[in-house]
Amino acid sequence: MKKNNGKGVTFSELREKAGLSIDNVSLLTGYSQRTVYRWEKNENSPKKIVLEKLMKIAQAGEVYEGSSAGFSFIDLFAGIGGMRKAFDDLGGKCVFTSEWNKYSRQTYLANFNCDHEIAGDITRIGAAEIPEHDVLLAGFPCQPFSIAGVSKKNALGKPHGFACNDQGNLFFDVARIIEYHRPKAFLLENVKNLERHDKGRTFRVITDRLHELGYYFDWKVIDAGYWVPQHRERIFIAGFREDCGFDFSRFELPSLENRPRIGTILHSQNGTEEEEPPYTTGPKAKISEKYTLSDHLWTYLQKYAEKHRARGNGFGFGLVGPGDVARTLSARYYKDGSEILVKQHGKNPRRLTPRECARLMGFDKPGESSFSIPVSDTQAYRQFGNAVVVPVVREVGKYMLQHLFDQVSEEQLELAFDSLMSETTVEYG
């Protein structure tokens, strides 16, 4: 049940109508961001005076308003568009996209209206060919730096990190584009292991280069489990051309008390969802039997897990029920689905369907099926396993934009607070 101000309007609706961010409300009222997040999620109700202040700002015609509308961004190593989707939601306009994988391009084009062609191999694209932009987004390939990627390359006797010529050096293409265009800001995303790879030397090369470019930046490892029912840690590096005081230490995470669980992203199978072949069939939209593990595969996975348990290793499958939180969805999920297997009553566990993966990664909200998946299951699993979690990027982006475009200072907010207490309207122009 929504908590409101007695007139049918929620705190979140009032805040948005007033044109205030979570951080703005925190500064305006003196309450912590964590408290404001609780108001936002309807976990607690703010005091009446807070709602009255917001109502006055809103009724004054949204007198407090940032200028982030209409900013432009480019989407490098775009995959299926997770970072784009987040920044589209924040009011940005994508002016350039680069993605070399043809199947990912197919999914991207099925979901976004592009007024530009999708460029391919970024190493073959001159910086001058890329349009001017305010924000650069890049989730540059992570396999050379991930724990699994490093282990695999070591086993095969192959180089990893920046020694990996086909993927590891792609950061420097990001750097040359930043150097040429000098965007107002950038957001880079990679695996948590990037910070520790090669005893920290890889990350030091990255940060040294960003310092050389004259950018102010900070980074933070964020677990997507605050927004989706999946333990997925990724590092985000946010940089700014000007020193705007950005600091990830003030980026407050939602409470884990009511963290989402796997049951929220699973097909209902009770008729409340429409049938979506090949994932679900029939009037109740039951999950297709093809996602249930065969006896042979299920027996193999159990024996494999037992063998590693006996050796004291942690390898094995991840079995989840509706009240659980999943392991990290990986690009290898198509092979056997072992990291996330869903319990089923009276039969072998099953894989997630690609639609459930879309929800797990935040491309769809729970219960929704709006994100188009035009590719095979194998390609879909690879794509979602390689993607970013959309709501995480959206929240990081929102926090960045507060610093990048917000022209109202803390002193002005304090003035607004005092003025509202005396019932005087203050307008910023």
Alpha helix positions (H), 117-268:
147-155, 170-181, 201-212
Q: 254, 344 in Cβ contact below 8 A? A: no
CA 257, distance to chain mean position in Å, is 20
Give, in order, the Cα–Cα distances in Å from 247 to each of 243, 334, 407: 10, 38, 17
Nearest partner of 429 among 69, 184, 92, 67, judged by Cα: 67
User: 74: which residues sit within 8 A by CB, 6+ positions away?
Assistant: 94, 95, 96, 97, 98, 130, 131, 133, 135, 136, 137, 177
Tell me, what amino acid is at 76?
Answer: L
**Among residues 94, 114, 142, 164, which one is catalytic?**
142
Place of tokens 């209409």: 70
Dihedral of CA 144/150/155/158: which sign? positive
Using a 10 angstrom Cβ sphere, with 0-12 exposed, 13-18 middle and 19 or more buried, the burial of residue 114 is middle
114 is catalytic: no
Q: Catalytic residue numbers?
A: 142
